[in-house]
Amino acid sequence: MALKVEEITTLFQTRGAAQYGGEAINQLQHALQCAHLAERSGASPELVAAALLHDLGHLLAQREPAKDAGVDDLHQFLALPFLRGVFPDAVLEPIRMHVDAKRYLCRVDSQYQASLSPASQRSLALQGGPFSGEDAAIFMAQAFAADAVALRRWDDQAKDPAATPPDWAHYIGVLELAASVGLAEPVR
């Protein structure tokens, strides 16, 4: 069942106060910071929407984050069935690929892994660790890989408890615009 923008808003209002992994912010703060970084970078409405929604899978889970139990929760996939049919691939694919983008960056950027927060380093191990050279090449050959890498970099920066991004209401129009682009795409 696809979620409407109003239902996504309600989900963030009701579950967004949950702590974001082991970070000093909550899920809503992280989403808003990530979207704000994307917006400030001049990203398309679809990529700003992806930045805002990339961790929606954590909110959809009906239990505590599996990372705490030593299991990858596969959150990058959980939200996709709820967003497909509402948003275009330009939103869905960077969300699906943002974990693999971390694994890619660990392979191609010698300083990236050390720059990750302790919580993100723990999740990296659960998510399979850095890519091999072959896996990195396969990743970058995919459509939307560059967008996923940009999203990943914003994701890594969006953990500042003192940040003051725009509130959720600011992004409702972005979500609606990104959804309207999706309606214009042919059904595959």
pLDDT in tens, 131-155: 999 999 999 999 999 999 999 999 9
Give the confidence band of 62 by pLDDT, cuts at 50, 70, 90: low
CA distance 95 to 112: 20
Give the confidence band of 71 by pLDDT, cuts at 50, 70, 90: low
Give the confidence band of 186 by pLDDT, cuts at 50, 70, 90: very low
Task: Check residues 69 and 76 and name the one with the higher pLDDT.
Answer: 76
Task: Check residues 93 and 122 and name the one with the higher pLDDT.
Answer: 93
pLDDT mean across residues, the chain? 90
CA distance 19 to 179: 28
pLDDT the model gives residue 31: 98
CA distance 130 to 107: 5
Q: How far is CA 78 from CA 55, 58, 60, 181, 184, in A?
A: 9, 8, 7, 22, 25
pLDDT the model gives residue 75: 84
pTM summary value:
0.91
Q: What's the rounded mean pLDDT across residues 30-53?
A: 98
Residue 33 has pLDDT above 90, yes or no: yes
Q: What's the rounded mean pLDDT across residues 115-139?
A: 93
Q: In which domain, by residue range, is 118 found?
A: 5-184
Give the confidence band of 65 by pLDDT, cuts at 50, 70, 90: very low
* Number of structural domains in the chain: 1
CATH number, domain of 82, equals 1.10.3210.10
What percentage of residues in the chain have a pLDDT greater than 90? 76
pLDDT the model gives residue 70: 66
CA distance 91 to 6: 17
The token pair that represents 147 in the structure block: 């967008």
